């Protein structure tokens, strides 16, 4: 297939691009700066813990989305807060038959599209102010996906895989279509586990359960997944946040296939891994706090669900993000006199 990976130089996008290209697909990645230069010069490299040498893929690399042209599949592998600035460029490369696979953490802009019920076509303002993405992208082009692998960018054009290879897929209306079967087969051939789910939204919540708790807690404490799950106070905080979110999700018809304790245990097994939000914090990048926490709090309001723990952690993380951005990525505050 002809595949465009937007954010192909990033941790998840790069992982996907290398594996899909090595499986024989025609892959174009959209990247910028030093990453773009490195991919053009040396290709895109992926370091797997069980491989003695990096896996290298020679992919086409472009800076502008428009230069990628119309593809069979477009994988949108950028952070949730990075979608809005490129949404109209993205819409321009999506043809009538193009399959768009958004891979953002958190509640996606399309969450209430093709859902039915009381909230049909409701906009998630926290991640899509004014419903811009909802209006620009036809939901018929979208296949939902949940991203489970842990990866990080080691150097420009070099991705390191930590663990996991699951990318569950689902049509927004849950139907078992021919096209989703083809995408699942494409992903499987590239070495991924991509089962087709009837209810992709329940899987989104299962992943989000961890992201909305461990990511902000790790950014506030600089703790790893293992450390957060083993420290009694942070583990209890995570448990309380998950309970609030579960109440919201169940009001929206979501079913959780595991309980809170099992979800926490699963995060602990990942080990001394820095969450993506902590990696972003240390690199001075903007945090996904709105997508991971703000969106859940918004859904709490529309379902009349109290979210005291989520509100507190959101306030702290939001202020942390604003402070870091104001200091241009520095984690050290200017010296001031004692209080």
Contact of 151 with 209, CB cutoff 8 Å? no
User: Per the domain annotation, does 332 fall within a domain?
Assistant: no
> What sign results for the dihedral spanned by CA atoms 25, 29, 35, 39?
positive
Specify whether the CB–CB gap between 38 and 11 falls below 8 A. Answer: no
| 281 HSE (CA, 13 A, CB side) | 25
What per-residue confidence (pLDDT) applies to 328? 79
**Average pLDDT value for residue range 45-58:** 90
CA distance linking residue 236 with residue 315, whole number of Å = 19
Going by pLDDT thresholds of 50, 70 and 90, the confidence category of residue 332 is low
Q: Are 98 and 193 in the same domain? A: yes
Two tokens, residue 59 = 């992919």
Q: What is the largest CA-CA distance in the chain?
A: 66
pLDDT higher than 70, residue 333: no
Give me the pLDDT at residue 334, please: 60
Q: Are residues 8 and 90 in the same domain?
A: yes
Q: In what helix (H) or strand (E) does residue 322 lie, and over which residues does it extend?
A: helix 308-326
Last residue in a domain, options 138, 173, 198: 198
Q: Within a domain: residue 147? A: yes
C-alpha–C-alpha distance, residues 234 and 217, integer Å: 8
Considering the domain architecture, whether residues 186 and 206 belong to the same structural domain is answered as: no
Lowest mean pLDDT: which of 27-41, 110-124, 302-316? Answer: 110-124
Estimate to the nearest angstrom the gap between the alpha carbon of 151 and the chain centroid: 12
* Cα distance between residue 201 and residue 203, in whole Å: 5
Q: Round the average pLDDT of the chain to a whole number and report it.
A: 93
User: For 164-190, how does the pLDDT look when each residue is reduced to its tens digit (9 = 90+)?
Assistant: 999 999 999 999 999 999 999 999 999
- The pLDDT of residue 335 is 54
Q: In the chain, pLDDT over 90 holds for what percent of residues?
A: 83
Could you give the residue numbers annotated as active site? 207
The predicted model scores a pTM of 0.91
Out of 28-37, 261-270, 272-281, least confident range: 272-281
- The set of residues, in sequence order, having a beta carbon less than 8 Å from that of 125 and lying 6+ positions away, is 131, 298
Are residues 190 and 217 located together in one domain of the fold? no
Domain holding 164, by residue range, is: 2-198
What are the structure tokens assigned to 153, written together? 């960018």
Could you tell me if 156 and 22 lie in one domain? yes
Q: Residue 93: enclosing H or E segment and its boundaries?
A: none
What is the Cα–Cα distance from 178 to 330, expressed in whole angstroms? Answer: 49
193-207 pLDDT, tens digit each: 999 999 999 999 999
Kindly state whether residue 333 falls inside one of the protein's structural domains. Answer: no
Average pLDDT over residues 160-165: 91
Highest mean pLDDT among 115-124, 237-246, 322-331: 237-246
Look at residue 253 and tell me whether its pLDDT is greater than 90: yes
The CATH number covering residue 97 comes to 3.40.50.720
Question: What was the pLDDT predicted at 81?
Answer: 87
In the chain, the number of structural domains is 2
The region that residue 168 occupies, defined by phi over 0 for left and psi between -120 and 50 for alpha, beta otherwise, is beta
pLDDT for 22 equals 97
pLDDT number for residue 117? 84
Distance CA 119, CA 275 (A): 32
pLDDT confidence of residue 329 = 73
What residues contact residue 254 under an 8 Å CB cut-off, 6+ apart? 199, 201, 202, 205
Sheet holding 158-163, edge to edge: 55-57, 44-47, 158-163, 150-155
Q: What is the mean pLDDT of residues 54-72?
A: 95
Contact 264, 228 (CB under 8 A): no
Measured distance CA(159)–CA(151) in Å, rounded: 7
pLDDT for residue 20 is more than 80:
yes
CB 19, CB 2: distance < 8 Å: no
- Of the pLDDT bands very low, low, confident and very high (cuts 50, 70, 90), residue 217 is very high
Residue 339, domain member (yes or no): no
Q: Is residue 24 part of a domain?
A: yes
pLDDT in tens, 101-158: 999 999 999 999 999 888 888 999 999 999 999 999 999 999 999 999 988 889 999 9
Q: What does the block give as tokens for 284?
A: 């001075």
> Do 99 and 73 touch, CB atoms closer than 8 A?
yes
- 17 and 126 fall within a common domain: yes
Per-residue pLDDT at 337 exceeds 70: no
Task: Strand 99-102: give its sheet, edge to edge.
Answer: 60-62, 26-30, 2-6, 73-76, 99-102
Q: Is residue 214 part of a domain?
A: yes
């Amino acid at each position: 297939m002809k595949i465009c990976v937007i954010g192909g130089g990033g941790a998840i996008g790069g992982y996907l691009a290398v594996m899909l290209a090595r499986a024989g697909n025609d892959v174009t990645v959209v990247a910028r700066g030093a990453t773009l230069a490195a991919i053009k010069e040396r290709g895109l490299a992926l370091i797997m813990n069980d491989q003695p040498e990096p896996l290298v893929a020679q992919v086409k690399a472009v800076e502008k989305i428009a230069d990628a042209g119309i593809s069979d599949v477009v994988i949108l592998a950028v952070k949730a807060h990075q979608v809005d600035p490129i949404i109209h460029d993205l819409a321009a490369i999506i043809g009538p038959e193009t399959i768009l696979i958004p891979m953002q953490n958190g509640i996606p802009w399309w969450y209430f599209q093709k859902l039915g019920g009381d909230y049909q076509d409701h906009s998630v303002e926290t991640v899509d102010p004014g419903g811009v993405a909802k209006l620009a992208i036809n939901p018929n082009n979208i296949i939902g996906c949940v991203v489970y692998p842990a990866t990080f960018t080691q150097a420009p054009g070099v991705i390191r895989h930590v663990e996991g290879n699951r990318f569950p897929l689902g049509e927004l209306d849950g139907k078992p279509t021919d096209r989703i079967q083809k995408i699942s087969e494409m992903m499987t051939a590239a070495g991924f586990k991509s089962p087709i789910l009837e209810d992709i939204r329940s899987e989104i919540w299962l992943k989000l359960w961890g992201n909305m708790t461990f990511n902000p807690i790790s950014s506030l404490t600089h703790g790893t997944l293992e450390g957060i799950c083993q420290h009694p106070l942070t583990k209890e905080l995570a448990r309380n946040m998950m309970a609030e979110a579960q109440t919201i999700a169940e009001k929206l018809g979501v079913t959780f296939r595991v309980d809170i304790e099992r979800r926490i245990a699963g995060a602990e097994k990942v080990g001394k891994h820095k969450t993506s939000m902590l990696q972003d914090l240390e690199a001075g990048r903007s945090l996904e706090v709105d997508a991971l926490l703000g969106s859940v709090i918004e859904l709490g309001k529309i379902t009349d669900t109290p979210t005291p723990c989520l509100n507190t952690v959101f306030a702290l993380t939001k202020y942390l993000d604003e402070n870091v951005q104001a200091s241009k990525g520095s984690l050290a505050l200017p010296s001031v006199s004692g209080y």
